[in-house]
Amino acid sequence: MTVYNFSAGPAMLPKPVLNQIKEDIPSFNNSGMSVMEISHRSSLFDNVIGDAEADLRELMNIPNNYKVLFLQGGATLQFTALPLNLATKYNHIGLIDTGHWSVRAGEEAEKIGTEVTTVATSKNYDYHQLPDYIDDGNQYDYIHLTTNNTIEGTAFDKLPKTDQILVGDMSSNFLAQQYRVEDFGAIYAGAQKNLGIAGLTVVIVRDDLIGSKDLPSMLDYQLLANKNSMLNTPPVFAIYVAGLTLKWLKDIGGIAEMEKINRAKSNQLYQFLDQSKMFNNLIKDSDRSLTNIPFVTGNKELDQEFIKQAAARGLVNLKGHRLVGGMRASLYNAMPIEGVTALVDFLDEFETKHQEEI
């Protein structure tokens, strides 16, 4: 039985990446050492991290005045690191509240004494659509937004218009759709959804925004950049996997081609949900995510039965986040179109068998 993993993260890896990992685990580049054993100070790893940065810069058209950091601690640690590094003039950031993870970013910033003002919120819409952002005339060190909301299922196709510096948590649609790096002062993303495995976080930050403050070493973007992300032992294996994933993405045509594929995958699922009499997606059409699609039947017992039967068919990790319940299909880059087709076929079959419960 083929298994399709719809988890919100850690997520599927591309098959070519998994196959290459299998080859490299016993002996990396004929070194006699596993890829998990090589030193971060070796020429072998210099090539790994150098290629990963070069490929990421090429794929995202990252300008030369932006630093690329390969860090540990998850995207959650950046909720603290970002205000420490960037909120140095006003000690005040604006927050576009689109759900759980944007709220968490604000809470963590407040813990270190940064003033946080919510400049727009989806709360009044039950987080089923994006809010309208209007510049309130205040000066902020930056405006924080979450480009894709993993739990709620909304995403920014177009960024809010502002003269303020934007900082984007791009964890769940990083490399899945196109954004201009120049539109942000900083971008950060955990790797375990579209870039590889848990244990790595990428930060892309404009170089004029950092270096003005003496910070604890492991939170200091300037020092980390000076040390090429190797102030201490970096997550060697996670960076290696990210490098393989970036080469796979280049091979299939880059982010523009990946976005076309992701739109085709999500459209297939949305089209079924929109005509279904049993299953519902509650998100405003224009604000729907390409990568995280929540849906419900309106009956908790029926939801649980669907999740159980789907898993028996190899459609796993469809349970929705505990905050919203229901189901959620995460269609990250490595999810093939065949997985979405299998899901839609089973949704249709399940609905047909339970028509009396509609």
For the segment 54-85, what is each residue's pLDDT rounded down to a tens digit? 999 999 999 999 999 999 999 999 999 999 99
In a shared domain, residues 82 and 177: yes
In a shared domain, residues 184 and 218: yes
In a shared domain, residues 296 and 195: no
Domain ends where: 251, 270, 297?
Answer: 251
pLDDT averaged over every residue in the chain: 96
Question: 357 pLDDT exceeds 80?
Answer: no
Domain ends where: 184, 218, 251?
Answer: 251
Q: Which is the catalytic residue, given 169, 220, 287, 303?
A: 169
Residue-number span of the structural domain to which 233 is assigned: 15-251
Q: Which is the catalytic residue, given 55, 101, 265, 319?
A: 101
Q: pLDDT exceeding 70 applies to what percent of the chain?
A: 99
169 labelled catalytic:
yes
In a shared domain, residues 95 and 168: yes
353 labelled catalytic:
no
In a shared domain, residues 188 and 48: yes
In a shared domain, residues 133 and 275: no
- DSSP characters over 64-99: TTEEEEEESSHHHHHHHHHHHHH--SSSEEEEEE-S
In a shared domain, residues 86 and 201: yes
In a shared domain, residues 33 and 174: yes
10 Å Cβ neighbour count for 218? 14
CA distance 66 to 88: 18
In a shared domain, residues 246 and 284: no
Contact 298, 325 (CB under 8 A): no
Question: 358 pLDDT exceeds 70?
Answer: no
CATH number reported for the structural domain that contains residue 117 in this entry: 3.40.640.10
Domain ends where: 202, 218, 251?
Answer: 251
CA distance 279 to 289: 17
Q: Which residues lie across from 155 on neighbouring strands?
A: 148
In a shared domain, residues 228 and 318: no
CATH number reported for the structural domain that contains residue 314 in this entry: 3.90.1150.10
In a shared domain, residues 59 and 191: yes
Q: Into how many domains does the chain fold?
A: 2
Q: Which is the catalytic residue, given 67, 193, 265, 319?
A: 193
Burial of 273 (0-12, 13-18, 19+ CB in 10 A): buried
In a shared domain, residues 134 and 265: no
136 labelled catalytic:
no
Question: 50 pLDDT exceeds 70?
Answer: yes
pLDDT band at 323 (very low <50, low <70, confident <90, very high): confident
